Amino acid sequence: MIDQKLFILGILLVFAFVLNAIGVFTPCWIVDSFGFTSRIVPYNRYAPLWFLAATVSMYLSFVLYIFMILIYTYSLLIVHRKGYSRSVKKWFSLITNASGMIVCFTVLALILIGVNISKASNSSDSYTLGYSAWLCVASAVISLGIFFNVVFFVHKECK
């Protein structure tokens, strides 16, 4: 039987991963006033350098979610076999570090895109963040919840 806290953590991980995957791979990152959209996947080699940095940042957040799900699965097996022990604490710490890095990478990408599209906006054309960016923001907020959930969970259970 799986512990309720671990089950909720797994649900949060999968939900945040799905939101991030949809956000990264959908075409509506930047929307102009005429309704044209811009995407980060695949990368446009003629885009400015700040867009490359934002794209790499979001790719890394996607890879970190995959890494987190694999670590969660492994730590779930350890808890199922041996219970909560000190040996599983390091795996939960890796989940905490990965979720913190995901939040940082997402915030970095949104700051880069947000600042630069506001500079590019003028009276004839304005740019805004599209739904893809906001899905990644929701994913980062859930990842922040995962961060605090795992920190308190490890402190309480793994002694």
Written as one string, the DSSP assignment of 136-155 is HHHHHHHHHHHHHHHHHHHH
Range of the domain at 11: 4-136+145-157
Q: What is the pLDDT along the chain (159 residues), one digit of tens a residue?
A: 567 888 899 999 999 999 999 999 988 887 777 766 677 777 777 878 888 888 899 999 999 999 999 999 998 888 888 888 778 888 989 999 999 999 999 999 999 888 887 776 676 777 788 888 899 999 999 999 999 988 888 877 776
CATH number of the domain residue 82 falls in: 1.20.140.150
Report the number of distinct structural domains present in the chain. Answer: 1
Which residues does residue 129 pair with via DSSP β-bridges, in sequence order?
30
CB 128 within 8 A of CB 5: no
Residues 6+ apart with CB under 8 A from 140: 61, 102, 103, 106, 107
Hunting for tokens 């795996």 — which residue is that? 91
Hunting for tokens 């899905």 — which residue is that? 135
Give residue 49's Cα distance to chain centre: 22
